[in-house]
Structure 1
Amino acid sequence: MASIPAKTSSLKLSLVPGPIIVGAGPSGLAAAACLADAGIPSLVFEKSESLASMWRHWTYDRLSLHLPKQFCELPLMEFPEHFPKYPSKNQFISYIESYAATHGIKPRFGCAVVQAEFDSAAGKWRVRTQFEEFLTRWLVVATGENAVPVIPEFPGLIKFYGDVIHSSEFKSGEIYKGKKVLVVGCGNSGMEICLDLCRHNASPSIVVRSNVHVLPREMMGCSTFGIAMALLKWLPLRMVDMILLFMANLVMGDTGSVGLRRPKAGPIELKDLTGKTPVMDVGALSLIKIGKIKVTEGVREITGQGAKFVDGKEERFDSIIFATGYKSNVPSWLKDGGGHFTAEGMPKEPFPKGWKGEKGLYCVGFTRRGLLGTSFDARSIATDIQLQWQLGS
């Protein structure tokens, strides 16, 4: 890496021969591995002190992959054969560590990107960290769509006397034994947190603010997602949705009868349109049916002792957990979104075109299609940069 005099600040300015990748989660590592396989070196910046920090620090203990492992592999490396069908959180982290080691990826940890912008005079991307500035022909944004926890504003929240956390801080239901807990958000995290709370003898209520698709993780011994992927090879999307919902109703019954009303669009169509993932049930629904998990309508107001709901009811709670998801942090450091990202930090072009911007800007992990989308992006980026690399050599 060559050093050249800095022109715009007192920081040391270095010229990077290959791409800079921002983020050392699964997306950043997948991009780095595909580039390395193509013979292209990359420099990976990671603001935390570890690989896959979100998986390591922001997930609950009982988490396992919601999809079978073959749908969650990163490019160029399978999961170990001895791993179960649905690897645990710790198994996935060990896979990520092995993945980085196998592909020789050594990120710069504790290195947060403060700002990045295209330098028209240099014809390159200028990337600034706390300590240095860098120029690169290619910038790969791999901070992902789930970089910053989101807690919606609720009237009265500041008055609540009990504990309030985001799901990223939840590890286990053990400390909630005997307590009444309000879980806001009915996605996969919210449902699994409720399940864990029940297993530790807490009393959870889950807020369902909108319609939601709940599907069994498996049907007839096969992964529901795997069935969907197989059917999509032969049938139109809406027909596949009809088949999935018919089978789900046979297995689960009418989820609307317990307060989990389904959207008008089918689960796959809704995922394509909005990025909203269906809930893969691993046991929470049966506890809802017997009243161990209480389903409530939207919250109108948080009180000092609990919450008032839109149906006029009021209830006391000891703790509130917001399973309300995450958002992109791209607007905080990529100037003007690089012309490629919206104000919300998502690519302007939907999948499968969102991976490539202009002037050497790329992104990986913003497809709303999980690790399968990440793999598609990473391979596409490496192929595109390889063509330019070969022409420039």
Structure 2
Amino acid sequence: MEIAYDLAESKACMSIVIRSSVHILTKEMVHLGMVLLKYLPLSFVDSFITLISRFWYVNLAKYGIERPANGPFYIKATQGRSTVIDVGTVKKIKEEEIKEYGYIVNDEGLPKNKFPNHWRGSNGLYCVGFSRRGLAGVSMDAVAIAQDMKLIMGGKKSRY
């Protein structure tokens, strides 16, 4: 989501695909939660931080963003999945500068194209972070996309 935000700030036409439910918090919410976890039970902190998030972001479902049933700190502790820290992306989504599209993924929420060209969608869409290779995979995708964009903007046909 940070990459989408940065590109939208540069006036790129941006869209994102959200494959599963996710908590979106500000860095201040995460910090507050981490401080509270030193003194209060996880279930209370999750409920409190989720309440703050619901108040702050209101209903994100209409933008294709669903919240998980379990709290953000519980998910981190049990599944190792971190919450999304919003740097301004949600505002861009609400203003429709970034749109959520699910049609470039299959029923499992993965790109329709297979690895190693999974990052390349149709109609000028790209997929970052779907390789299931962690941050190294995200980096690989970003480099491939940047190289492809450079070729296209230079008037050359894409290699892919």
TM-score by shorter chain over 0.5: yes
Taking the TM superposition and a 5 Å limit, the aligned residue runs for 1:134-283 are 191-218=1-28, 224-283=29-88
Instruction: Report Cα offsets for 1:168-227 as digits up to 9, x if no partner.
Output: xxxxxxxxxxxxxxxxxxxxxxx0111111112111111111111111222xxxxx2221
CA distance in 2, matches of 1:242, 1:297: 29
Taking the TM superposition and a 5 Å limit, the aligned residue runs for 1:29-40 are none
User: Could you say what secondary structure the match of 2:90 adopts?
Assistant: helix
Taking the TM superposition and a 5 Å limit, the aligned residue runs for 1:297-336 are 297=102, 299-300=105-106, 301-302=112-113, 307=121, 316-324=122-130, 326-327=133-134
Q: TM-score, normalised by structure 2?
A: 0.68
CA distance in 1, matches of 2:39, 2:47: 14
Q: 1:345: which partner in 2?
A: none
C-alpha change, 1:204 and 1:327, in structure 2 (3 Å) is closer
Higher-helix-fraction structure: 2
C-alpha change, 1:272 and 1:292, in structure 2 (3 Å) is same
Runs of 4 or more off by more than 3 Å in structure 1? 324-329
Q: Percent same amino acid among aligned pairs? A: 33
How many residue pairs were aligned?
123
| Paired residue type of 1:326 | R
Instruction: Report Cα offsets for 1:4-47 as digits up to 9, x if no partner.
Output: xxxxxxxxxxxxxxxxxxxxxxxxxxxxxxxxxxxxxxxxxxxx
User: Could you say what secondary structure the match of 1:250 adopts?
Assistant: helix
Cα RMSD for the two superposed structures: 2.3
The CA deviation at 1:328 is 9.8
What 5-or-longer segments of structure 1 have no aligned partner? 1-190, 219-223, 308-315, 330-393
| Paired residue type of 1:323 | G
CA distance in 1, matches of 2:124, 2:46: 40
Q: 1:284: which partner in 2?
A: 89
| Paired residue type of 1:196 | D
C-alpha change, 1:327 and 1:249, in structure 2 (3 Å) is closer
Query: Quick check: 1:212–1:278 contact (8 Å CA) kept in 2?
Result: yes
CA distance in 2, matches of 1:283, 1:295: 15
| Paired residue type of 1:215 | L
The CA deviation at 1:327 is 4.5
The CA deviation at 1:233 is 2.1
C-alpha change, 1:217 and 1:317, in structure 2 (3 Å) is farther
Please tell me whether Structure 1 or Structure 2 has the larger radius of gyration of its CA atoms: 1
CA distance in 2, matches of 1:230, 1:201: 37
CA distance in 2, matches of 1:199, 1:328: 22
The CA deviation at 1:321 is 3.6
Q: TM-score, normalised by structure 1?
A: 0.29
User: Could you say what secondary structure the match of 2:126 adopts?
Assistant: strand
CA distance in 1, matches of 2:13, 2:82: 26
CA distance in 2, matches of 1:248, 1:230: 16
